[in-house]
Amino acid sequence: MRMSAAEMCQVLKEGELEKRSDNLLQLWKRKTCVLTTDSLNIYADAQKRTKAKELKLQAIKKVDCVERTGKFVYFTIVTNDNKEIDFRCSGEPNCWNAVITMALIDFQNRRAIQDFKTRQDNGSASPGQQERRMARAP
């Protein structure tokens, strides 16, 4: 299951998202974000789209702490090293947290299938492994 570069970088959602700053005041800053099939790109400047911070889906453990208020949906992305990044978005029907969660599930499923196929190919390549499988057959 080889995917082309175009398929791997397909844009799933593009728009504005607010990120809580890491400083002491923890202010919300509006960012332009682009979610692809393999990463979330966060741009500080919507016009220039320079200095993107790329958060690879392979580095995300889960989307957590989803809370709805009157105007916003708040959620946290937890990375593999347990760093938490807080976001909020408007309560639109196709909200960012849902799209990111579905992209993460899709990414993890594709990786699991690829790992399985790799193990299966490696297992059938060694003749000793094949003989052991045949010996177990009834």
- The pLDDT value given to residue 6: 45
Contact residues for 75 (Cβ-Cβ < 8 A; gap 6+)? 63, 64, 65, 66, 67, 86, 87, 88, 96, 97
What residue ranges do the domains of the chain occupy?
11-109
Residue 96: alpha-carbon gap to chain centroid: 12
Structure tokens at 20: 């809580």
CATH 2.40.100.10 fits 11-109, yes or no: no
Token pair 């005041």 is at which residue? 25
User: Which strand ranges, in their side-by-side order, compose the sheet holding 53-56?
Assistant: 53-56, 39-43, 28-36, 11-20, 84-90, 72-79, 60-68
Read off the pLDDT band of 108 (50, 70, 90).
very high
The pLDDT tens digits for 9-40 are: 799 999 999 999 888 888 999 999 999 999 99
Query: Which is higher by pLDDT, 132 or 14?
Result: 14
